[in-house]
Amino acid sequence: MSQLDISSNVEEIKAIVEEFRVDYNRDHFIRDKEFLNSWDFFDEKTRNIFIEFLERSCTAEFSGFLLYKEISRNLKKQNPLLAEGFSFMSRDEARHAGFLNKAMSDFNVSLDLGFLTKTRKYTFFAPKFIFYATYLSEKNWLLEIYYYLPSFRKKSKLSCVSYF
């Protein structure tokens, strides 16, 4: 990614990074009064399925945080604009993971995200897979970069943290 030529799309990428900077979602993941409710109405099967959903979602969001943070760090010197965009994406993924982890505490469950950081193993994926997964998850600017830079598709591989 450090070799990525974004010159033909730099204005669009600057606009996207500016939206991240403004941080429209800053207050989106706030626990409101609905979270004061009891979750005891779930039967055991539903409760277990919901907890598994929260655990998987939290792990996926935390994986995204680690991935985007690593990409941001690796791009900082070569492509500061993309590095900043990935840094903002990392911030947002960390928020999502924290929100989900806090939601799990309502069920007396939590994930040790520090443990996940220390015991991760790396799986390497071609950028198209990372961009597509990100698009499905976030529907954001990565797919546009991939789409507009076809020469990048064949050359590069990125690492993605995998816990599964």
Q: What is the pLDDT of residue 155?
A: 43
CA 25 to CA 29: how far, in whole Å?
Answer: 8
Which residues touch 20 (CB under 8 Å, ≥6 apart)?
Answer: 84, 85, 88, 89, 92
CA distance 141 to 116: 27
Model-level pTM? 0.73
Give percent above pLDDT 70 in the chain. Answer: 73
**Which of 44-48, 57-61, 72-76, 141-145 has the least mean pLDDT?**
141-145
74-104 pLDDT tens trace = 889 999 999 999 999 999 999 989 988 998 9
Q: How many CB atoms lie within 10 A of CB 97?
A: 24
69 pLDDT band, cuts 50/70/90, is very high
Token pair of 20 as six digits: 């991240």
When the pLDDT of each residue in the chain is averaged and rounded to a whole number, the result is 77
Residue 145: pLDDT band (50, 70, 90) is very low
Instruction: Count CB atoms within 10 A of the CB of residue 58.
Output: 24
